[in-house]
Chains A and B, each alone.
Chain A
Amino acid sequence: MHPLAQATTQPLPLPEVDWRAIAPELALAVAGVVLLLVVAFWPRAGRGVLAGLTLAGLAAAAALTVWNWDLERVAFEGAVSLDGITRYARAVLLAVGALATLMVAQGDSREGEPDDSPPEVFPLLLFALLGMVLLAAASDLLVVFIALEILSLSLYVMAGETRRLAAQEAAMKYFLLGAFSSAFLLYGIALCYGATGSTNLLEIADATGDPTADGTLLLAGVGLLAVGFLFKVSAVPFHMWTPDVYQGTPTPVAAFMAAATKVAGFAVFLRVFAGALGGLVVSWRPVIAGAAVLTMLVGAALAVVQTDLKRMLAYSSISHAGYLLVGVAAAATVPAGVSASMFYLLTYAFMVMGAFMVVQYVSRLGPPDDDAIGERSSLEDYRGLARRHPWAAGLLAVFMLALTGIPPLSGFWAKYYVFLAGIEAGLTWLVVVAVISSVISAFFYLRVLVVAYLQEPVGDPGAETAPGRTPALGVALGLAGLLTVAIGLAPEALIAAARSAERILG
């Protein structure tokens, strides 16, 4: 009998579809498709309607996340795992998505203006979130890759959503370098598969303990995986794209990238390196620790010389990726490393979103500059902000102080727990570098406040129009500020929730 004919007569085992396990992802996918159809059949729909539908989709996904909260299992033959990391990342990502929706919904530029974004940005936001949430839950390297592509492809398009030249350039750079890093990751996956015979993280974890396995091939694969992940979380020496992309991209998208991509990227970083490859920690820890040192110091040092706030925030996000890498380096041997990193991601996401919200607010002040290459985000524009817009300046102060890590704001606790985990893992030298980097970073965060509070405003403040026709940005700013202060005052509950993320299912 011909082998093909034989194959077609034998019964096939049908895979079990665990709908409940991926319910939040399905909700995001359905919401994204519905929004796509709304955009197609009703292109004149107001931004309020689209934002409302997006928020409804996010709320549905959040409700399903709560419904699944106590679920701990591996679904789809080990392709998706529901554990602490998954649920914590889901909750943070959906909250970040809601804030990003409010920022995008602001819509204070008229149609045809260079800052006007097309309605497609809402379904794209949902698809990007779908990829991120799936990335945090993926426990098979192929699912990791697919999730990463879903989120990257959505973000490439979102980066160039406005007609500003800088946004187009950012989208192109992000796309070219992102595609390059995806290739590295895929090669790493292929080598890991070659060495262990599986793409499943649980089986790879088993194989790393097997002395007969091909160690060289596996280590080469792990190295390439690290390159792919380090690129996505913008760690030095794979950070070159970050400043250009964050500066050129429309501010809401830059905020979403800075916060959400980091959350999803580090969630998968922890799951793969601290979880599946935990047995190889002796091999990869020096590499990750070295990248952490470079990332913290280069990020902080280059942020000092920036005169553009968006660019400065990009370098600041690089140095924060360095602190998170300390958590990853610690996580393989110390469970507290996992919870500290997850908690850091939670606080960092809201701080950086808030900082970008203030940037968005300030960029719309003053006369429209339709011919400028990028949006208005120079440090000059913040002169005397405290006198012109005291609320915006006050919130800016909250976010900058939180990013510096000054108690009692949330950023302090984030750093505290990560440093504690680092010391517990015996990486005291790394923590010392992190503290030095924190001191350097205080300079550029506080300089923004000096400009906003101590310098005189240029021009006539009375001639400025208060931006915004919708209260969306105001609500988002309020929420981000509230969260940053509230987490700082009472971090215990959220740290306890993060502790439940310490056991990685695989």
Chain B
Amino acid sequence: MNLGAFAPILAMLVLAAAFAVLSIVVSAFLAPHRPTRAKYSAYESGVEPGRLPQGERYPVKFYLTAMLFVVFDVEVIFLYPWAVVFRQLGVFGLVQMGIFVGLILIAYIYDWKRGGLEWD
């Protein structure tokens, strides 16, 4: 097998790593260091970091919400390639995507009815 075909990817990896390391090193040397209260506060609407109660445990609801977001996020990503070849796939594509979206819809209905979307 010809590994040479992967050379650009390797070059890209090296370049990306070098750029990241270089940026941090250079900014540490060149950037002026003038801390203020505002600079040290939480970014935008972020929560003030602190110790979580009960031994760093946090409600599983965060996880559920994040999972739901990821599911729909990925669903939409899968819709894009279909949109590109929508006409060529025709009815076949429509039926397949109908099955795909339908299954996720059923999972969503299940989650809703079982109270997965209620915070308390």
Chain A 1-40, CB-CB to B under 8 Å as 1, else 0, gives 0001001101110100000000000000000010011011
CB within 8 Å of B: which A349-363 residues: none
Report the count of interface residues on A (CB-CB < 8 A): 18
> What is the bound-complex CA distance between A37 and B114, given in angstroms?
10
Cα–Cα, bound, A194→B85 (Å): 28
Contact call B1/A36, Cβ cutoff below 8 A: no
Q: Are A214's CB and B1's CB within 8 A?
A: yes
Cβ A8 vs Cβ B84 within 8 A: yes
Residue of A12, A39, A195 touching B114 (CB-CB under 8 A): A39
Which residues of chain A come closer than 8 Å to B87, judged between CB atoms? Answer: 8
Q: Are A195 and B113 in contact (CB under 8 A)?
A: no
Cα separation A214 to B2 with both chains bound (whole Å): 10
Question: Is there an interface contact between A12 and B85, defined as CB atoms closer than 8 Å?
Answer: yes
CA distance A469 to B114 in the complex (A): 27
Return B26 CB to nearest CB of chain A, in Å. 36
Binds A, one of B30-38, B67-75, B102-110: B102-110
- Contact partners of A37 in chain B: CB under 8 A: 106, 109-110
Q: Nearest chain B CB to A291's CB is how many angstroms away?
A: 29
How far, in angstroms, from A496 to B27 measured CA to CA in the complex? 75
Decide if A33 touches B84 in the complex (CB within 8 Å). no
Compute how far the CA of A43 lies from the CA of B1 in the bound complex, rounded to whole angstroms: 56
Question: Is B92's CB under 8 angstroms from A33's CB?
Answer: no
Verify A8–B85 contact, CB threshold 8 A.
yes
> Which B residues between 80 and 120 are near A, CB-CB below 8 angstroms?
84-85, 87-89, 92, 103, 106-107, 109-110, 112-114
CA distance A14 to B109 in the complex (A): 31
B59 to chain A, nearest CB (A): 16
Question: Given A41-B113, A214-B1, A217-B1, A36–B106 Cβ distance below 8 Å?
Answer: yes
Query: A40 to B110, Cβ gap below 8 A?
Result: yes
List B contacts of A8 (CB < 8 A). 84-85, 87-88
Could you tell me if A12 and B113 are in contact, using CB atoms closer than 8 angstroms? no
Closest CB of chain A to B1's CB: distance in Å? Answer: 5
Q: How far is the CA of A14 from the CA of B76 in the complex (A)?
A: 22
Chain B: minimal CB distance from A153 (Å)? 12
How far apart sit A7 and B92, CA to CA, in the bound complex (Å)? Answer: 18
Query: Do A33 and B113 form a contact, CB below 8 Å, given A8-B88, A12-B89?
Result: no
CB-based contact A43/B114 at 8 Å: yes
Report yes or no: B1 in contact with A194, Cβ–Cβ below 8 A: yes
Specify which of B87, B88, B89, B107 lies most central, judged by the most chain A CB atoms within 10 Å of its CB.
B88
The distance from the CB of A382 to the nearest CB of chain B, in whole angstroms, is 38
Q: How far is the CA of A14 from the CA of B95 in the complex (A)?
A: 13
- Indicate which residue in A10, A40, A194 contacts B109 across the interface (CB closer than 8 Å): A40
B110 touches A11 (CB 8 A): no
Cα A16 to Cα B101 with chains together (Å): 21
Q: Which residue of B lies closest to A213 (CB)?
A: B1
CA distance A41 to B112 in the complex (A): 10
**Chain A positions within 8 Å of B106 at CB level:** 33, 36-37
Contact in complex: B103, A33 (CB < 8 Å): yes
| A415: min CB distance to chain B, Å | 43
Chain A residues with CB under 8 A of B92: 14
Known interface pairs A8-B84, A37-B106, A37-B109; A14-B89 also in contact (CB < 8 Å): yes
A195 and B1 within 8 A (CB): yes
Q: Given A12-B88, A12-B89, do A40 and B1 touch, yes or no (CB 8 Å)? A: no
CB contacts (< 8 Å) of B113 on chain A: these are 40-41, 43
* Minimum CB–CB distance for A488 against chain B, Å: 43
A192 to chain B, nearest CB (A): 12
Name the residue in A33, A37, A40 with the highest tally of chain B Cβ atoms < 10 Å from its Cβ: A40
CA gap between A40 and B88 in the complex, in Å = 37
Nearest B residue to A43, CB-CB: B114
User: Which residues of the partner chain B approach A41 to less than 8 Å between Cβ atoms?
Assistant: 113
Q: Tell me, in angstroms, the Cα distance from A7 to B84 when the chains sit together.
A: 9
Chain A nearest CB: distance from B9 CB in Å?
Answer: 13
A195 to B1, CA, bound (A): 7
Say how far B105's CB is from chain A's closest CB, in angstroms: 11
Q: How far, in Å, is A255 (CB) from chain B's closest CB? A: 26
Expressed in whole angstroms, the minimum distance between the Cβ of A125 and any Cβ of chain B is 16
Q: Which of A172-209 contact B (CB under 8 A)?
A: 194-195
Beta-carbon nearest neighbor of B96 in chain A: A17
Cα(A194)–Cα(B1), bound, Å? 8
Which residues from B are CB-within-8-Å of A4? 84
Given the complex of chains A and B, what is the CA–CA distance between A36 and B84 in angstroms?
A: 33
A36 and B89 contacting across the interface, CB-CB below 8 Å: no
Chain A CB count within 10 A is highest, among B84, B107, B114, for B114
CA distance A39 to B107 in the complex (A): 11
Q: How far is the CB of A376 from chain B (nearest CB, A)?
A: 29
Question: What 0/1 readout, one digit per residue, does chain B (46-88) give for beta carbons within 8 Å of chain A?
Answer: 0000000000000000000000000000000000000011011
Per the bound structure, the CA–CA distance linking A284 and B36 in Å amounts to 64
22 contacting pairs across A/B (C-beta < 8 A): A7-B84, A7-B85, A8-B84, A8-B88, A11-B88, A12-B85, A12-B88, A14-B89, A14-B92, A33-B103, A36-B106, A36-B107, A36-B110, A37-B109, A39-B110, A40-B109, A40-B110, A40-B112, A40-B113, A40-B114, A43-B113, A43-B114
- Which residues of B line the A interface, CB within 8 A? 1, 84-85, 87-89, 92, 103, 106-107, 109-110, 112-114
Give the B-binding residues of A (Cβ under 8 A): 4, 7-8, 10-12, 14, 33, 36-37, 39-41, 43, 194-195, 214, 217
Can you add 20 more A-B contacts, CB < 8 Å, to A8-B84, A33-B106, A217-B1?
A: A7-B85, A8-B88, A10-B88, A11-B88, A12-B85, A12-B89, A14-B89, A36-B106, A36-B110, A37-B106, A37-B110, A39-B110, A39-B114, A40-B109, A40-B110, A40-B112, A40-B113, A40-B114, A41-B113, A195-B1
